[in-house]
Structure 1
Amino acid sequence: MNSGDFVSVFELYKERYLQQDQQGHETKKALDRFQSWLKNNTKLFPARAKSEKQQKIDLGRFISAIVQEARSILAEKGVQIFCISLGLKESSKCIRAFSESTIYYRLGKTCPRKGNYRGMELLVMELVMDGNKNNIFIPLVERQQAIEEQMGTRIERESHRIESTGKYRFKLYFPFENDDSAEAIGRMSVMLANFIYITRKELINLNII
């Protein structure tokens, strides 16, 4: 990770933290000052030598483990989910929470080429609503703030250019840290389960079954 990447990752972590912090204004001011200092002192962080190999994890197993734990969490709440994609070598999993709808969830790894997260390796959780603009997407956008408040985190969308092609998604981004520990899997599985549980209730209210 170079110095620019470090600052970008800090910004993402700061945003996630502030969304859950109860202290409010004073905490934000302190983090903003630290972020400003980072941007002005990036030369203090030497770039990683090219010969240094970063630890790699088995992405397919990591994602499968997250989905499996999320399935158990949701089952305790009376919600059943099913994987569309099978196999441990896949870099993403598509998840169905409805028996008849074409709407589904997806968990995978991404590295955006544009936007605020350009060049960052991220774990992304998505609610995919492609082709369902008026009956699903727009009503959910109207409820987006309420959903975010329930989840305690911000939901991202596709760019206007992508949405104009009929691709409608709600997304949660998390820094991908090559950490497949039980703690990391547990943390991500809780986020995935909450994402599915909360948005699924909204979809049921829109008569999705």
Structure 2
Amino acid sequence: MSDRDFLLSFGRFKNEFLRQAGLEKNQYGVLDAFEKWLRMYHNNNVDENDKVPPSGIYLDVHKDREVLLNEICRRVEQKLLQRGIVVKCISAARWGKARSSALCLVLPGFQDVFYRLCFTQPRKGIYSGRKILMSELVLDGHKKSLFLPLLNYHSEMERRLDFRLERESLHMEQAGRYRFKICFPVEQEKIPASKLEEIARVVARFIIVSSEYLEKVNAAQIG
């Protein structure tokens, strides 16, 4: 097994362990620290040409779904770490989605605010019936404290991202789902591995930009 395959397998085993063990959040520390050390050790001890998969490699959206999500999360974590931002990548089981392959990136200081990465196929809206890879900032339960204040910066965030920033439908927001999301249509059954770097770059930028405004809104309320 190659180092890269080992790291991807470790991510899957870690998520499954967390799902089954039922640990409290304050018990994740050593495991998270070990994973970050393992990834950094790997990055410092591989050839530069091995860090980006060859463009000729394709990953099946159905068979390799968890591998795709883990690989994107790994790349996002690395890009954020370069900016001094440390996030925790955990499975959606932490929020009661035991059968979901979705992964959640959690910022320090925000216990129930997180970024969710998943594959989905909306039934309504502009992506109706289409398969998409989606990253969303989940703000459920924070309508007045975070979501509504962030709406004031919606256009500004979108301009800085240079990428369409979606909201939930009015019906879903009325039901309590308050989210901002970016979507990548998956038109074919297989995704070239070379595309993962581009997706990770946009997702990392989404987290960097939106987290700046989260901090800004928080500071305004505390002040």
Amino acid at match of 1:165: A
Amino acid at match of 1:128: V
Q: What does 1:43-192 align with in structure 2 at a 5 Å threshold?
A: 56-85=62-91, 91-176=101-186, 177-192=188-203
CA contact (8 A) 1:73 1:193 kept: yes
1:206 equivalent to 2:212? Answer no
Which consecutive aligned stretches of 4+ in structure 1 deviate over 4 angstroms post-superposition?
54-57
Query: Deviation digits for residues 39-68 of structure 1, max 9, x if unmatched?
Result: xxxxxxxxxxxxxxx985400000100000
Identity across the alignment (%): 32
Query: Deviation digits for residues 74-108 of structure 1, max 9, x if unmatched?
Result: 10000011112189x95211110123431100000
Gaps of 5+ in 2: 1-59, 94-98
CA contact (8 A) 1:155 1:172 kept: yes
Q: Give the 3 Å change call, closer, same or farther, for CA 128–55 of structure 1 in structure 2.
A: closer
Count of aligned positions: 154
Query: Deviation digits for residues 131-163 of structure 1, max 9, x if unmatched?
Result: 101110011111000000000011111111110
Q: Give the 3 Å change call, closer, same or farther, for CA 178–188 of structure 1 in structure 2.
A: farther
RMSD of equivalent CA atoms? 2.1
TM-score for both structures, normalised by structure 1: 0.68
TM-score for both structures, normalised by structure 2: 0.64
1:196 equivalent to 2:186? Answer no
CA separation in 2, counterparts of 1:203 and 1:146?
13
Gaps of 5+ in 1: 1-53
